[in-house]
């Protein structure tokens, strides 16, 4: 179990789950007060997140196993190191895809109908680096499904109240794309040597960081816009401020000539930003 949790970097689920929770409670807040919060449905939404992300991450490791074996930074990952066989990793992917689809069946018909599209995006991402430098944006789209997907799980339809959830999906798209570019800085030379595509490999470290910064400025602007659109209260704006500060902070940690703090910028800073923002937005919805 420990090896499989490591394979899918389970702790990194923290990136998207808070935004799924935001989408869920946004939709719940639009339901009648007598209906209350459906906690059983909430559990199913969280399970969908876990199954989908586990399938996507394990498939990424499976698809990239030969590439990871050649890269000194990734050679000790579970599949190239022989800890988990490629076949078992693929079985793990299939099981999680089936569990994800089965869970959507028990949520509502729309989620079930959309589940193949979601799986196509999150699994297809693993091959995009082979033909386009826009792979970071495909990853962003995959995680951006969290807020709107959770919203639809509650509402069962797209309606006029889903606009805020859609805005949050775009927040996630630009936020994730920006920090994935930062993470890809580590493999600029390796990607070039194998003919793989990434923003750093195409633009160089300096310009890649500029683009990442622009994407995070857009994400910050959308967070502010979502607050005004939903007429948010004090707790939202506190969370918004912290989120934007942490987005800015990671750009002070990483420089083109110093990548020593990429992990701090990528994992720690963004994980805290997502969790704290999610808590304050949900507090604002309820209070």
Residue 111, domain CATH: 1.10.357.140
At residue 86, the 3 state secondary structure works out as: helix
Give the model confidence (pLDDT) of 138-195 as tens digits.
999 999 999 999 999 999 988 877 899 999 999 999 999 999 999 999 999 999 999 9
Residues linked to residue 262 through DSSP beta bridges, in sequence order:
none
Dig out the tokens for 87 from the structure.
């076949």
- How large is the average pLDDT for residues 64-76? 94
Beta strand extents in 51-151 (DSSP E only): none
> How far apart (Å, rounded) are the C-alpha atoms in residues 86 and 224?
44
Is 122 within 8 Å of 63 (Cβ atoms)?
no
Q: What is the pTM of this model?
A: 0.94
Q: What is the DSSP letter of 230?
A: T
* Rounded Cα distance, 115 and 110, in Å: 9
Query: Number of structural domains, the chain?
Result: 1
What integer pLDDT is reported at residue 34 of this predicted model? Answer: 45
In the predicted structure, residue 32 carries a pLDDT above the cut 70:
no
Instruction: Say if residue 11's pLDDT is above 80.
Output: no
First-last CA distance in the chain: 39
- Strand-pair partners of 255: 258
Sole residue written with tokens 């979601």:
118
DSSP 255: B
**What range defines the domain where residue 252 resides?**
2-286
Distance of CA 90 to the CA centre of its chain: 21
């Amino acid at each position: 179990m420990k090896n499989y949790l490591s394979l899918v970097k389970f702790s990194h689920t923290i990136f998207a789950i808070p935004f799924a929770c935001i989408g869920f409670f946004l939709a719940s807040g639009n339901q009648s007060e007598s209906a209350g919060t459906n906690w059983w449905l909430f559990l199913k939404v969280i399970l969908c997140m876990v199954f989908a992300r586990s399938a996507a991450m394990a498939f990424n490791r499976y698809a990239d196993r030969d590439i990871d074996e050649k890269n000194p930074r990734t050679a000790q990952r579970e599949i190239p190191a022989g800890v988990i066989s490629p076949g078992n990793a693929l079985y793990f992917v299939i099981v999680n895809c089936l569990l994800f689809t089965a869970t959507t069946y028990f949520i509502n018909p729309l989620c079930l109908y959309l589940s193949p599209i979601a799986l196509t995006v999150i699994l297809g991402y693993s091959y995009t680096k082979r033909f386009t430098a826009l792979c970071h944006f495909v990853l962003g789209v995959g995680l951006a499904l969290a807020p709107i997907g959770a919203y639809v799980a509650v509402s069962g339809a797209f309606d006029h109240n889903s606009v805020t959830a859609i805005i949050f999906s775009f927040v996630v798209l630009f936020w994730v794309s920006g920090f994935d570019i930062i993470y890809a800085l580590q493999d600029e030379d390796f990607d070039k040597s194998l003919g793989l595509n990434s923003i750093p490999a195409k633009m160089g470290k300096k310009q890649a960081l500029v683009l990442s910064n622009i994407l995070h400025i857009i994400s910050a602007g959308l967070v502010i816009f979502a607050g005004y659109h939903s007429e948010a209260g004090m707790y939202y704006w506190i969370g918004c401020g912290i989120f934007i500060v942490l987005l800015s902070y990671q750009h002070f940690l990483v420089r083109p000539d110093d990548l020593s703090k990429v992990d701090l910028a990528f994992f720690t800073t963004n994980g805290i930003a997502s969790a704290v923002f999610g808590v304050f937005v949900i507090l604002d919805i309820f209070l």
